[in-house]
Structure 1
Amino acid sequence: MADRQRKLKIQTGVVRRIAKEKIMYGQEAVEIAEKIKKMQAGGEDEYVIRKQKECLEESERMGPDCQKRLQQAVGTLSSLLETEKDLEETEEYKNAVKQLEAVQQAA
């Protein structure tokens, strides 16, 4: 039983981490875009601006990747919750359900 609870706890952590990553990459992209605008307005060196644009592109590429990984992790956690119905009273199960609800509300 402890092994199954541990699996649930680990998968819940995976979903939490990827959801947080997705949010952070989105915030980072916005911050870099603002920084680029300020640099362009301030007449910064073109090389520095180009490097910042590369960072922005990388952050923007990570969004769809995180979304894909999040969908997979949510699917895995949902399946695990379905197969482990007998653990409904455990703290790990309740945390997993809460995390799924939080991710679904954020989407």
Structure 2
Amino acid sequence: MADSATEPTTVVVDPVKLKALKIKTGVVKRYTKEKQSYEKEASMQRTKIEKFKQEGKDDYFIRQQEGCLKESEMMVPEVQRQLLKSYDELKAIVDEQKGELGGTGEYKTAVQTLDDAKPHLPDEST
């Protein structure tokens, strides 16, 4: 009996649920990074276009660069939609599995990932 009092209790976690949590966490992380990447690319492209305009570069060349900018800008809302869908799916798993998975490192990572992704979700007003 003395041994059972000193041994920590182990919680049995369903590996299928844990794997689903890990996968959804990875998806949300990826879409968050992807959105940030498109925003950064668009910002850099705007700066580049301004520089080309100031240098008096050819209009055709500038229009090509503006086309690249539009492509990057169009990707942001698309990635945001995918991020929102993945965010909602992960949030549902986190809320549903709090009791069972709440003590795992994967659960804590998932919660942190949700917090990190929240500012990158589309505005509620749109």
Which residue matches 2:118? 104
Which residue matches 2:21? 8
The AA in structure 2 aligned to 1:79 is A
Give the secondary-structure state (helix, strand or coil) at the position aligned to 1:58. helix
Q: Which has the higher helix share?
A: 1
String of CA shifts for 1:21-80, please: whole Å, max 9, x gaps.
111111111110110011111111222111100000011111111111111111000111
Q: How many residues align?
A: 107
Distance 1:94 1:102 in 2: 12
Distance 2:23 2:58 in 1: 46
The AA in structure 1 aligned to 2:74 is R
Kindly, what percent of the aligned residue pairs are identical? 39
Does the Cα contact within 8 Å between 2:32 and 2:120 map onto a contact in 1?
no
**What is the 5 A alignment of 1:67-82?**
67-82=80-95
The AA in structure 2 aligned to 1:93 is Y
Mapped pair 1:44 → 2:57: yes
TM-score (norm 2): 0.79
The root-mean-square deviation of aligned C-alpha atoms, in Å, is 1.3
Which residue matches 1:29? 42
The AA in structure 2 aligned to 1:87 is L
TM-score (norm 1): 0.92
Deviation of 1:95 (Å): 0.5
Deviation of 1:98 (Å): 0.8
Structure scoring higher RCO (CA < 8 A, sep ≥ 6) equals 1
